[in-house]
């Protein structure tokens, strides 16, 4: 406990008026905790971190933590982060987005940031729903699930963030959950130290908007569900294909070492500098 308190004092903003805006039981706070622990464990200075967030409950986490923080506009966090990274490649530029922010409104930017393989660490807080605006469906809402805009069940298929990011060409693609916190810490640390575009998709429950409509009686039910369905990739791959249904693999899916955009750019400029 003492250690937790210390980290809070070191990383949260003292002059910010708390309490925070997140609902009790929301997974977003756990992700923030994991991020802070990871930055701390890697010994990255606060000044060297720029945290850019989109709009949504997920976007609100930026205001509480004592980094250079930017709360951008809905869907465009990656564009702002791209500008920061290209201007200051030496900084750790971290992006926090909701599933709606990242792949609904921001889908095009997401694909292109991954394609460019620009050195950003992107945490997509996937709660399968639009939390902040009151539980409308997002492009991650699973087929058949209920939301305020799919009162008869979702008819569209949802995005698989991992497959999408892999196909777009990112260097590091992973998925974790807020139930498996130790694994999450590790994934975030790997992402933070990996060259090029790094995705950590985090499954995080929104009990208030998703759970309530989809027969999860309490936040605890949702965490129990994460515990049951999330399966480490190695174990998942060993399963018979018919046993895989309903399970979500977690772990590292892509671990490439292509040069990042900023590295390629620096090499091109170095040629001019030599004359």
Partner 1 sequence: MSAKRKTAAREIFALGAEAVVEGALLAGCSFYGGYPITPSSEIMESMAERLPRTEDGVFIQMEDEIASLGACIGASLAGRKVMTATSGPGFSLMQELIGYACMIEAPLVLVNVMRGGPSTGLPTSPAQGDVQQARWGTHGDHSIIVLSATDVQDCLHMTVKAFNFSEKYRSPVILLLDEVTAHTREKITVPLAKDLEILYRLQPSMPPEWYKPFEETVRGVPPMPPIGSGYRFHATGLTHDDHGYPTQKSDEVVAAISRQFRKIDQFFFDIQITDEFLTEDAEVGVVAYGSVARSAHLAVEQARERGIKAGLIDLKTLFPFPRAAVEGLLRRCRTVIVPEMNMGQISREVKRVNPGTSTVWTINRIDGHIITPKQILESIRKG
Give the interface with ligand TPP as residue ranges (CB under 6 A).
Answer: 55-58, 74, 98-101, 125, 127, 129-133, 138, 206
- In the list 34, 69, 117, 158, the residue contacting partner 1 (rule: CB under 8 A) is 69
CA 21 to chain centre: 19
119 versus 135: smaller Cβ distance to ligand TPP: 135
Residue 69 touches which member of partner 1, ligand SF4, ligand TPP, none, C-beta under 5-8 Å by kind: partner 1
Residue of 177, 174, 197 lying closest to 187 (CA atoms): 174
Instruction: Please state, as a whole number, how many other Cβ atoms lie within 10 Å of the Cβ of residue 222.
Output: 24
- Residue 127 CA to residue 97 CA, distance in Å, equals 11
The span from the CA of 222 to the CA of 177, in Å, is: 11
Residues numbered 50 to 79 that lie near ligand SF4 (CB under 6 A) are: 57
Q: Is 209 in the site for ligand SF4 (CB under 6 A)?
A: yes
Q: Does 174 bind ligand SF4 (CB under 6 A)?
A: no
d(CA 7, CA 140): 33
| Stretch 79-98 residues interacting with partner 1 (CB under 8 A) | 79-88, 90-91
Could you say which of ligand TPP, ligand SF4, partner 1, none residue 198 binds, taking C-beta under 5 to 8 angstroms by partner kind?
none
Return the H-helix or E-strand segment holding 248: strand 248-255
23 binds, among ligand SF4, ligand TPP, partner 1, none (CB under 5 to 8 A by kind): ligand SF4
CA angle at residue 163 from 159 to 125, to 5 degrees?
A: 60
19 binds partner 1 (CB under 8 A): no
90: CB partners within 8 A, 6+ apart: 48
Question: Interface with partner 1 includes 70 (CB under 8 A)?
Answer: yes
Cβ of residue 18: shortest distance to partner 1, in angstroms?
11
For residue 83, the minimal CB distance to ligand SF4 (Å) is: 27
- Residue 54 to residue 77: CA distance in whole angstroms: 5
Q: To the nearest whole angstrom, how small is the minimum distance from the Cβ of residue 104 to ligand TPP?
A: 7
The set of residues, in sequence order, having a beta carbon less than 8 Å from that of 46 and lying 6+ positions away, is 11, 39, 66, 67
User: In the chain, count of helices (H) and strands (E)?
Assistant: 12, 10
Report what 72 binds from partner 1, ligand SF4, ligand TPP, none; CB cut-off 5-8 Å by kind: partner 1
Residue 160 lies near partner 1 (rule: CB under 8 A): no
Q: Give the residues across from 199 on adjacent strands.
A: 122, 173
Of 15-23, 96-104, 146-154, 157-165, which segment contacts partner 1 by CB under 8 A?
Answer: 15-23
Contacts of 163 (CB under 8 A, 6+ apart): none
Contact present, 161 and 140 (Cβ < 8 Å):
yes
Q: Which residues in 239-248 are b (16+ Cβ under 10 Å) and which e? A: eeeeeeeeeb
- Minimum CB distance to partner 1, residue 156 (Å): 23
Quick one: 94 or 206, whose CB is closer to ligand SF4? Answer: 206
The only residue of 39, 52, 94, 230 in contact with partner 1, by rule CB under 8 A? 52
Binding region for ligand SF4 (CB under 6 A) = 22-23, 26, 28, 57, 127, 131-132, 206-209
């Amino acid at each position: 406990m003492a250690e937790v308190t210390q980290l809070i004092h070191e990383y949260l903003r003292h002059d910010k008026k708390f309490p925070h805006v997140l609902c009790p039981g929301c997974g977003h706070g756990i992700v923030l905790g994991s991020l802070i622990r990871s930055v701390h464990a890697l010994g990255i200075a606060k000044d060297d971190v720029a945290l850019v967030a989109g709009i949504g409950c997920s976007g609100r986490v930026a205001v509480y933590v004592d980094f250079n923080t930017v709360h951008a506009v809905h869907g465009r966090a990656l564009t702002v982060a791209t500008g920061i990274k290209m201007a200051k490649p030496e900084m750790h530029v971290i992006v926090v987005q909701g599933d709606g922010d990242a792949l609904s409104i921001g889908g095009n930017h997401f694909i292109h940031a991954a394609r460019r393989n620009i050195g950003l660490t992107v945490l997509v807080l996937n709660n399968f729903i639009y939390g902040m605006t009151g539980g409308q469906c997002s492009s991650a809402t699973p087929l058949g699930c209920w939301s305020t805009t799919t009162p008869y069940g979702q008819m569209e298929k949802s995005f698989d963030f991992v497959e999408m990011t892999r196909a777009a060409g990112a260097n590091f693609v992973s998925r974790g959950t807020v139930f498996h916190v130790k694994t999450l810490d590790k994934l975030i640390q790997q992402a933070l130290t990996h060259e090029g575009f790094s995705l950590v998709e985090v499954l995080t429950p929104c009990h208030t908007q998703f759970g309530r409509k989809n027969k999860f009686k309490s936040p605890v039910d949702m965490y129990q569900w994460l515990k049951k369905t999330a399966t480490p990739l190695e174990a998942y791959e060993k399963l018979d294909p018919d046993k895989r249904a309903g399970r979500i693999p977690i772990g590292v899916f892509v671990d490439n070492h292509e040069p990042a955009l900023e590295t390629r750019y620096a090499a091109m400029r170095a040629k001019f500098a030599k004359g």
